[in-house]
Amino acid sequence: MIEIKILGPGCRNCELVEQIVRNACAELNIAASIEKITDRNKFLEYGVFLTPGLIINGKLVSSGKIPTKSTVIHWLEEAQNTKQ
């Protein structure tokens, strides 16, 4: 199972990143644990200085922008391949 963390205060952009991630997981039929982290004090622990932040399997893949679904799909496929 892929572990995904979405970091942000709960703003519209953070919600959009979550929706993109959920759609990408559904499209790829990937089992994922998706956790939303809204505690600003935790952001720096993960290396996120600008939100929204996206972490896949412990690796910060995006910060301060909204990635495209195709980019998220690429990251998820990469994460799935490294887990096997």
Mean pLDDT rounded to a whole number for the chain: 94
For 38, the 3-state DSSP assignment is: coil
Q: How far apart are CA 82 and CA 17, in angstroms?
A: 23
Average pLDDT for 36-42: 94
Q: How many residues does the chain have?
A: 84
Query: Token pair for residue 53?
Result: 């932040």
Q: How far apart are CA 80 and CA 31, in angstroms?
A: 10
* pLDDT tens profile 46-81: 999 999 999 999 999 999 999 999 999 999 999 988
What single DSSP character describes residue 47?
T
Give the architecture-level CATH label for domain 2-83.
3-Layer(aba) Sandwich (3.40)
Max Cα-Cα span within the chain: 34
